[in-house]
Amino acid sequence: MNKGGVFIVSGPSGSGKDTVLAELFRNKPDLLFSISSITRAMRPGEREGDKYNFISREKFEDMIKNDELLEHNIFVGNYYGTPRKPVEKAVNEGKDIIIEVDVNGAAQIRQKLPEAVSIFIMPPSFAELKRRLVGRGTESEELIEKRLDSALGEIKRAAEYDYIIVNDSITAAADDIMSVILSSSFKTDRQKNIIDEVLSKC
Ligand code: ADP
Ligand code: 5GP
């Protein structure tokens, strides 16, 4: 069996990652999503275990100590991390998995898994990013300012990614991610088994 692909998705808060990924998962239900462990408070509408496991700082620090995380970072005062085991399991079972992380988390994953494919979701403009963050209405004005500050630094690092997808239209951006997933499934490093399989029967 060929190994599954790891797809890192980043982009500034408010660029539309969750919205575009929800559309992608509707079209591709066999795709897996890496559920992050985080210490920030739950937002209205969020559910435990959907996208995040909401845990205490103590529990998070235990996970770091026990080397249970593939990567972790502090974002606007809270810990965010990717549990290692579900990612390893997906790859070994030949399933594709999406890991949504910030730019620091993406850099850590690239070091550990150089074959991972990284995608940056870019807002059409900074003004539109601000409009979306304000329009989402989930953060205070102060937190929105902090997220916009962080967004500047993140956009400056977009060149570290394999692909940049502009989220102008939700459906087009989801289709673009689908194209990246499809084309990367044909990469030679994902097709090693077919070479052995064909040669074994000659
Ligand atoms: P992120 O997950 O990157 O923080 P969200 O998916 O929560 O961003 O999107 C932020 C806000 O922008 C939400 O209110 C969402 O409905 C809106 N949004 C997302 N994509 C688009 C788009 N292509 N056009 C207009 N609004 C969008
Ligand atoms: P939010 O609080 O808006 O859900 O997420 C804030 C930021 O944390 C986003 O940039 C998001 O991509 C990032 N993030 C989500 N999960 C993880 C994770 O497991 N690790 C890291 N490093 N960043 C994450």
pLDDT digits (tens, 9 = 90+) for 52-97: 999 999 999 999 999 999 999 998 899 999 999 999 999 999 999 9
Give the closest residue to 160 by CA, choosing from 197, 112, 108: 108
End-to-end CA distance of the chain: 19
Tokens at 23, concatenated: 């559309």
* Residue that is written with structure tokens 């502090």 in the block: 74
* Separation of alpha carbons 69 and 86, rounded Å: 10
pLDDT value for 98: 98
Ligand 2 within 6 A of CB of 163: no
pLDDT digits (tens, 9 = 90+) for 156-178: 999 999 999 999 999 999 999 99
Tokens at 149, concatenated: 């500050």
Ligand 1 within 6 A of CB of 10: no
- Please tell me the distance between residue 98's alpha carbon and the centre of ligand 1 in angstroms: 18
Residue 167 identity (one-letter amino acid) = N
H or E, element range at 10: strand 6-10
- Please tell me the distance between residue 30's alpha carbon and the centre of ligand 2 in angstroms: 23
Name the pLDDT band for 1 (thresholds 50, 70, 90). Answer: confident
pLDDT above 90 coverage of the chain, percent: 88
Name the pLDDT band for 196 (thresholds 50, 70, 90). Answer: confident
Ligand 2 within 6 A of CB of 157: no
pTM equals 0.94
Q: Which ligand is nearest to the Cα of residue 21, counting in written order? A: 1
pLDDT value for 71: 98
pLDDT value for 191: 85
Q: Which residue's CA is the nearest one to ligand 1's atom 5?
A: 16
* Separation of alpha carbons 17 and 121, rounded Å: 7
pLDDT digits (tens, 9 = 90+) for 118-141: 999 999 999 999 999 999 988 889
- In DSSP terms, which residues pair with 165 in a beta bridge? 121
